[in-house]
Structure 1
């Protein structure tokens, strides 16, 4: 009897210990996980797919070329007496920029004018004699031979006077060359010859180089494969060309396509293109390197997504689209970019669908997601 009571007590004590252990375990587990939310999907940021017009550009590295670059050389030999410009100065067409010592030419011109006046007087006298001989021939007082000789003398003197007049005109022109004027509107460069030096017409160095800055032109080369799209763009009207700085961040000037070269460079497979910028001001400098963007076409109302939403894989580009609480992988064909968005050329996404812009690196097709505010 006593042993039976002991076994019953031991059994009850064991049951109590087991129940107590279970209760303590549940209490500990609850305490450990108290305040923690249930597991959720990967947090992502999304942006809806939109429709908009996207321009198609052909990009190339170009060089700014001046409309005209003129090396000013002297057209007469002589001492450079003065330079009437400051280096880097804007000058107008016809503005005096230098002078050559003209004293010798002025003296030669004076002699030539004196010779002309003398020969004109001789001609006038010969013409009066000719008129008298004609009257005498009619009266029978002189021979026809004398009249003919006098007529020939008059013609000879007329030739002499004509030569004198030409000599005077030539010296007038030579004298005008002593005052050197700018042939174009532009900017003068650094002075190449100092006043006091003897300059000649055979010099190839010149006195200064004047560059016409406006309108500026940019020459760049595009692949021959783009010729078709460029021709189509030209057929539609004026073709816009943008000039950006070396970093492709700052727009320097906006112009238009001026001309295509007449042949493809077989060594590079490219063709040269020239664009003109009428209102570039000082933004484009001769021989400056710029990034040229030729607007070949405009895609009308195509689906666009943020460029950062596009992922790149071994099978091509793709995006993640959020459907409910899961992400779906969509393969897409990307097109040209404009700003922070890129065009989607196929039906990989539809307007209004939500594409993942942040958190995509942790996703797979079908991964649970939780959309968070950006």
Structure 2
């Protein structure tokens, strides 16, 4: 075999790689908005059911009685309404004959409206009682497979209890991430794996897939990229034999003279275009040795730098291929900077003599008040208006009388 080093070209075709998928499914927890004693269970654990199938029943007797009470109250108020309507008709005839006051007719009509509102309220109570009676029969909300039941016949079931009777899981159809007939894709990259999730849909008619099941798909087993001509590679499955840790026996998949890719395989796909930049004389001699940095064979000129579509290797790739040399160079640059900083010439601040202005005035025969108003105050105002003046010391007054 003659292995080589491959560079992935831009003309390569794309293919979805293998991986692991997860099956998100629809499920429904069986609960009930009414409570009571569980008197019947009509399903077997693991049974396939259809939407609307009867699964369990709660004792309906108390709800039947509540319905009868609501219906009786409704009938009573309906009779009162009918009687009030008959009275209104009589009062209208009497009022037309001017036999009763208008207030009597108005009161009768208001009573009819009152009974009409009561009847509507009673009708709502009857409908609510019928709904509660229907809730005593627990039916499958979706089609799927029933899981393990959590309660038995004779247990008391509370309304909206957190302990469900069972869970129905929809398995037809079923969704799977990553492969299949593409249905949707995620809107962000998974930072833990650096991948984008896809969701596909399967009919699952043979019930081969189950909820929360993980499967492997794509390429299976050991394979290598073999040169198919001079520019493209193909995926070649292998049958491996015994190994001693460093060497492995290849039983099937390769033959003498095949050229396989040793590095850069993470960027390759089946049918990718490549450019071989190392020949068979420059391959590693041991499994732990890499192609990068290996000297050329004696009597041969050094191979040209790795190229991608006719361009020379950039400077950043050189640092990537020489991590130890890059680290030592960075340390040397930092050390040289520290030494140069300590040797930089630094001069002390120069001594500067600042300009000082002294004013002396003589005012023979003047008193201290006169000196302050006639000399000191005008000088302070004038010096305060001078630009650049940073310090001012009031003058000392020396008064001498002659």
Report if TM-score (shorter chain) is over 0.5. yes
Q: 1:96 to 1:279 in 2, by over 3 A?
A: same
For the pair 1:343 / 2:271, whether they are aligned, the reply is: yes
Deviation at 1:92, TM superposition (A): 0.5
- Count of matched residue positions in the alignment of Structure 1 and Structure 2: 241
Is the CA contact (8 Å cut-off) linking 2:13 and 2:272 kept in structure 1? no
Work out which of the residue numbers 236, 246, 257 in structure 2 matches 1:307. Answer: 236
Deviation at 1:105, TM superposition (A): 0.7
Q: Which SS does the other structure have where 1:150 is aligned?
A: helix
Q: 1:75 to 1:130 in 2, by over 3 A?
A: same
Aligned match of 2:86:
128
Residue deviations 1:10-58, cap 9 Å, x none?
Answer: xxxxxxxxxxxxxxxxxxxxxxxxxxxxxxxx9xxxxxxxxxx987123
Q: 1:102 to 1:305 in 2, by over 3 A?
A: closer
Residue deviations 1:236-274, cap 9 Å, x none?
Answer: xxxxx2xxxxxxxxxxxxx31221223334455444332
Q: Which SS does the other structure have where 1:65 is aligned?
A: coil
Q: 1:308 to 1:97 in 2, by over 3 A?
A: closer
Work out which of the residue numbers 279, 284, 305 in structure 1 matches 2:209. Answer: 284
For the pair 1:259 / 2:184, whether they are aligned, the reply is: yes
Residue deviations 1:278-311, cap 9 Å, x none?
Answer: 24531111111112459xxxxxxx95657269xx
Quote the Cα distance in structure 1 between the aligned partners of 2:216 and 2:176: 10
For the pair 1:174 / 2:174, whether they are aligned, the reply is: no
Aligned match of 1:103:
61
Q: 1:180 to 1:218 in 2, by over 3 A?
A: same
Is the CA contact (8 Å cut-off) linking 2:233 and 2:274 kept in structure 1? no
Work out which of the residue numbers 49, 54, 73 in structure 2 matches 1:91. Answer: 49
TM-score (norm 1): 0.57
Q: Which SS does the other structure have where 2:177 is aligned?
A: strand
Quote the Cα distance in structure 2 between the aligned partners of 1:308 and 1:161: 80
Deviation at 1:137, TM superposition (A): 0.9
Quote the Cα distance in structure 1 between the aligned partners of 2:139 and 2:174: 22
Aligned match of 2:281:
none
Structure 1: runs of 5 or more not aligned: 1-41, 43-52, 221-240, 242-254, 295-301, 310-319, 349-360, 366-374
Quote the Cα distance in structure 1 between the aligned partners of 2:110 and 2:195: 70
Taking the TM superposition and a 5 Å limit, the aligned residue runs for 1:32-51 are none
Higher strand share: 1
Quote the Cα distance in structure 2 between the aligned partners of 1:63 and 1:192: 26
Quote the Cα distance in structure 2 between the aligned partners of 1:128 and 1:76: 41
Aligned match of 1:77:
35
Aligned match of 1:191:
149
Taking the TM superposition and a 5 Å limit, the aligned residue runs for 1:136-175 are 136-175=94-133
Structure 2: runs of 5 or more not aligned: 2-11, 220-230, 239-253, 277-286, 288-296, 298-402
Structure label with greater radius of gyration: 2
Aligned match of 2:20:
61
The CA RMSD measured in Å over matched residues stands at 3.3
Q: 1:303 to 1:118 in 2, by over 3 A?
A: same
Deviation at 1:197, TM superposition (A): 0.5
Is the CA contact (8 Å cut-off) linking 1:54 and 1:336 kept in structure 2? no
Deviation at 1:344, TM superposition (A): 5.0
Q: 1:345 to 1:280 in 2, by over 3 A?
A: farther
